[in-house]
Amino acid sequence: ISHVQLSEPMKLPPGTSLHTFQTFIDRVIQCCGAENVSIISKCDKLVDGHYMNPCKGHDMHAIYDRDYFLASAVICPRDVPEVQMLMRLCNEFEVPAWPFSIGRNTGYGGAAPRVSGSVCLDLGRHMNRVLDVNVEGAFALVEPGVTFFDLHEYLEEHDLRKHVWLDVPDLGGGSIIGNAVERGVGYTPYGDHWMMHCGLEIVLPNGELVRTGMGALPDPTIPAAEGLRPDQQPGNRCWQLFNYGFGPYNDGIFTQSSLGIVVKMGIWLMPNPGGYQAYMITLPRDNDLAAAMDIIRPLRMQMVLQNVPTLRHILLDAAVHGPKSSYTAKSEPLDDADLDEIAKKLDLGRWNFYGAVYGPEPIRSVLLSVIKTSFLSIPGSRFFLPEDRHEPNSVLRTRANTLQGIPSVDELKWVDWLPNGAHLFFSPITKISGADAEAQYAITKKRCTEAGLDFIGTFVVGMREMHHIVCIVFDREDPKSRTKAHWLIRTLVDDCAKHGWGEYRTHLALMDQIANTYNFNDGAQMKLNEQIKNALDPKGILAPGKNGIWPKGYNKATWVI
């Protein structure tokens, strides 16, 4: 084992001396190999990279300075035993670790750790195999580094799309595991990724390896299991078929959590429905929002709307077509007349609804006729198929791929609405109702205007609620623009809490504030979360501070932001 000359990190783990850190890194190198350990040293320049080649130790969309949330080192374990060993080393040296699968996590903090000086564990670099695609059971079993692109390519290469489809989010470069454990969404009928996961293999903070659900039951009828390491043993034949197993259902506590590192996960694939048609319905007026919502709710709950459809504000689509400067010389937020002009230019509505129907032709045409009749009761609304749209970068054409599980990066373009575009997502949950959507839109739009930013947003319709995704675009090189974006999101969290609206997920910088809004009965849920955290991770080495949960060794008062 070669002993490399260790450089001094820009940020040390809290309470760790340089000497201890170097001894720790020495041991890590013995475990994972020097080539799999990189220190972010004092003399490094923090380079953001870009979506296709993201930085791994900080947030490329930093809202504070780039070194505010910064890793001391990035470690790439090669297999499950190395992850287990790393957990033991982190406990021995009391060094916090922040795991990620790919580290894109765009709009929510990227690869950056909540506690600066943590070591980032880049799980996806080496652990990136598609372990199984089972056509009969319609599921896949994947490692952390498998992205939506990877699994899609696997299905194509093995000519499997005729049997099973994947569900993908707007951008295909993220990991299947990272997205599911953060409870991200896609847009086919299988859009709720966490709902569609089935079976986990997890390394606990003490290094123990656990399989959840039916995975806890070994299958001695599989001869290959003999003599293999636990992580190599084939799983129970029902591991990816039945989520719950026996006893308390564990899986939920490993989402948005700091209780374990997911090293394998099953994900259900959608049987090829035997036919598909994407469509768009444009709605001309700002206040068509409410009418549309009251049409959407019953249709979605009855599953006439089979997929996770979206109702997008004109500026989200406009931003995919070009930066703000391509429409106007204004720097202040656009007004109604500007938006009408943009909608006219792009031949779109003020709101644009994107959906799809799935199944053989007779099923599709019945569903489509109900959907059309319902929406076209809104005066001026128009219905389009992908072949009706000829403009370059047609959002409907991109959505026509996304809604059948074909990943892309086309929607990256809206981040360039402003120069040096970066973004934050503000994502409150709301009821599918005209009154609720209208109220939430009015509040968020008003605050965007106060911040001097344009409202860019979309309502993503789940089974019974909506994820309202507000895309806060700012200029990352302009401190004033960052400050405005930061003020905006902090203000919106408080505004929305006053209406009983909470966010489903958030950026590192907002985790404490949002956790504090989920405070029923004197913060009883946080007390429960802290009890579980302290029991499973007494030294608080795994992702301290994630989602506002601080281990007992951290003085919360000094850490909370």
**Shortest separation between residue 282's beta carbon and ligand ADP, angstroms:** 31
Question: Is 108 assigned a catalytic role?
Answer: yes
With binding defined as CB under 6 A, does residue 506 bind ligand ADP?
no
Nearest-5° Cα angle at 351, 347 to 354? 85
Other Cβ atoms within 10 Å of 470 Cβ, number: 26
With binding defined as CB under 6 A, does residue 101 bind ligand ADP?
yes
Q: Which is nearer to ligand ADP, 172 or 428 (CB)?
A: 172
* Phi (first) and psi of residue 35, to 5 degrees: -70, -10
Contact status, residue 315 vs residue 459, Cβ threshold 8 Å: no
Contact status, residue 225 vs residue 218, Cβ threshold 8 Å: yes
With binding defined as CB under 6 A, does residue 309 bind ligand ADP?
no
Q: Which is nearer to ligand ADP, 104 or 484 (CB)?
A: 104
**Shortest separation between residue 86's beta carbon and ligand ADP, angstroms:** 13
Q: Which is nearer to ligand ADP, 59 or 286 (CB)?
A: 59
- Distances in Å between the Cα of 46 and the Cα atoms of 58, 69, 242, 298, 405 are 8, 12, 44, 49, 34
CA distance 29 to 433: 55
What is the longest distance spanned by two Cα atoms in the chain?
Answer: 73
With binding defined as CB under 6 A, does residue 121 bind ligand ADP?
no
Residue from 9, 57, 107, 144 that binds ligand ADP (CB under 6 A)? 144
Q: Which is nearer to ligand ADP, 24 or 425 (CB)?
A: 425
Q: Which of 297, 312, 505, 554 is catalytic?
A: 505
Considering only the stretches 76-84, 173-181, 235-243, 420-428, report the one whose residues sit in contact with ligand ADP under the rule CB under 6 A: 173-181
DSSP characters over 345-365: HHT--SEEEEEEEESSHHHHH
**Shortest separation between residue 463's beta carbon and ligand ADP, angstroms:** 23
With binding defined as CB under 6 A, does residue 145 bind ligand ADP?
no
Q: Which is nearer to ligand ADP, 178 or 213 (CB)?
A: 178
For the chain, give percent helix, strand, coil, nearest 5. 35, 20, 45
**Shortest separation between residue 178's beta carbon and ligand ADP, angstroms:** 3
CA distance 540 to 110: 22
Q: Which of 108, 187, 276, 279 is catalytic?
A: 108
Q: Which is nearer to ligand ADP, 174 or 405 (CB)?
A: 174
Question: Is 279 assigned a catalytic role?
Answer: no
Residue from 77, 99, 117, 309 that binds ligand ADP (CB under 6 A)? 99
349 CB burial (10 A radius; 0-12, 13-18, 19+): buried
**Shortest separation between residue 537's beta carbon and ligand ADP, angstroms:** 13
**Shortest separation between residue 194's beta carbon and ligand ADP, angstroms:** 12
With binding defined as CB under 6 A, does residue 178 bind ligand ADP?
yes
Residue 165 corresponds to which tokens in the numbers above?
């489809």
Closest CA to 474 of 454, 445, 495, 494: 454
Q: Which is nearer to ligand ADP, 259 or 406 (CB)?
A: 259
Contact status, residue 202 vs residue 181, Cβ threshold 8 Å: no
Residue 314 corresponds to which tokens in the numbers above?
């004109």
Residue from 10, 123, 133, 320 that binds ligand ADP (CB under 6 A)? 123
With binding defined as CB under 6 A, does residue 174 bind ligand ADP?
yes
Q: Which is nearer to ligand ADP, 175 or 481 (CB)?
A: 175
With binding defined as CB under 6 A, does residue 540 bind ligand ADP?
no
Considering only the stretches 178-186, 293-301, 397-405, 549-557, report the one whose residues sit in contact with ligand ADP under the rule CB under 6 A: 178-186
Binding mask 180-199 for ligand ADP (x = CB under 6 A): -xx-----------------
Contact status, residue 551 vs residue 543, Cβ threshold 8 Å: no
With binding defined as CB under 6 A, does residue 107 bind ligand ADP?
no
- For 267-298, give one letter per residue: b (16+ CB within 10 A) or e: bbbbebbeebbbbbbbbbbbebbbbbbebbbe
Residue 220 corresponds to which tokens in the numbers above?
């001695």
With binding defined as CB under 6 A, does residue 554 bind ligand ADP?
no
Applying CB under 6 A, what is the total number of residues that bind ligand ADP? Answer: 20
Compute the Cα dihedral for 241, 242, 245, 249 and give only its sign. Answer: positive
DSSP characters over 434-493: HHHHHHHHHHHHHHHHHTT----EEEEE-SSEEEEEEEEEEETT-HHHHHHHHHHHHHHH
Compute the Cα dihedral for 554, 555, 558, 561 and give only its sign. Answer: positive
Q: Which is nearer to ligand ADP, 144 or 421 (CB)?
A: 144
With binding defined as CB under 6 A, does residue 118 bind ligand ADP?
no
128 CB burial (10 A radius; 0-12, 13-18, 19+): middle
CA distance 176 to 278: 24
Question: Is 504 assigned a catalytic role?
Answer: yes
Considering only the stretches 179-187, 281-289, 396-404, 512-520, report the one whose residues sit in contact with ligand ADP under the rule CB under 6 A: 179-187
**Shortest separation between residue 259's beta carbon and ligand ADP, angstroms:** 9
Binding mask 254-293 for ligand ADP (x = CB under 6 A): -------xx-------------------------------
Q: Which residues bind ligand ADP (CB under 6 A)?
A: 99-105, 111, 123, 144, 174-175, 177-179, 181-182, 261-262, 546
Which residues are part of the catalytic machinery?
108, 504-505
